[in-house]
Amino acid sequence: MSDSRASSHAYPVGRLRRTVLEMAYAGSTVHIGCAFSIIELLAVLYRRFLRYPDNHPDAEGRDFLVLSKGHGVMAQYACMVERGWLGPEDVSNYFKDGSHLKGLSDSRVPGLEVTSGSLGHGFSVGVGMAMGALRRGTDQKVYAVVGDGEINEGPIWEGALVAAHHGLHNLMLIVDKNGFQAMGTTDEVLALGDLDAKLASFGFDTVTVNGHDEAAIEAAITTLWQRPGSKPKALIANTVKGKGVSFMENDNRWHYTRLDAARYAAALAEVDSGVTS
């Protein structure tokens, strides 16, 4: 039984973004910008760090990817297509009658660890998973991806206190810091201040990184895991909402805007210019 954390799958970000666009257009659905900001983060996690023995999404001993910002799930679906867990019909039938894929992370779908979308709760689930793994004496790791707007929620900070108190050194909080949430910028809605300092004060080892630089992301995650001690980890990823399509970047209307035929074609042309097979 293979248990290597390094994957043979490539996860090219252009192709991942194309899959997201195909799903969003097929289902006439939203949350494209929210998915695009985490593409590189998930690509690096799936390619380099997440362990799935025998490439099975529910394998015993697997690492856990907890998508607390469940509205970004199309990015995870795109990685699951690359993994072979989802097929072309899942993409073309997304959000249509009979599709088992939802617009938010749903634990009934193999490969998705949590049902999230009610923001703030997924991270606490990840804290529980990490605590369980430590108590069982396994070497499983837990990666919990949250949005910066999601950090407004109190359960995030309750979970952070618990993680530090119990020395959950197998837990990594990954913050998608794109500066926006549904109703505006994070500074307008509820300013977050210095996230690095806040998380450090809660007892986390922290690193800040360009969330679209895959080499930097890999190096930062590796550095965090190599740090000694019992502190939980936090990766603060500076990202661009809508990254990869010029007319979506930093435009918060793409939190809820749907693609029409013309904008779908224009977006595909942009992401395809960087696609590698």
The CATH number assigned to the domain holding 108 equals 3.40.50.970
CA distance 97 to 65: 28
Is residue 5 one of the residues assigned to a domain?
A: no
Is residue 51 one of the residues assigned to a domain?
A: yes
Q: What pLDDT score does 8 carry?
A: 72
In the predicted structure, residue 195 carries a pLDDT above the cut 50? yes
Q: Which domain holds residue 133?
A: 13-272
Mean pLDDT across the chain, nearest whole number?
Answer: 95
Is residue 265 one of the residues assigned to a domain?
A: yes
Q: Which helix (H) or strand (E) holds 165?
A: helix 154-165
Q: What pLDDT score does 1 carry?
A: 38
Q: How many domains does the chain have?
A: 1
Is residue 3 one of the residues assigned to a domain?
A: no
Which residues sit opposite 172 in a β-bridge?
Answer: 143, 233
Is residue 27 one of the residues assigned to a domain?
A: yes
Is residue 6 one of the residues assigned to a domain?
A: no
Is residue 49 one of the residues assigned to a domain?
A: yes
**pTM above threshold 0.75:** yes
The neighbour count for residue 173, using CB atoms within 10 Å, is: 28
Is residue 1 one of the residues assigned to a domain?
A: no
| 205 in Cβ contact with 227 (< 8 Å) | yes
Task: Extract the tokens encoding 277.
Answer: 């097979």
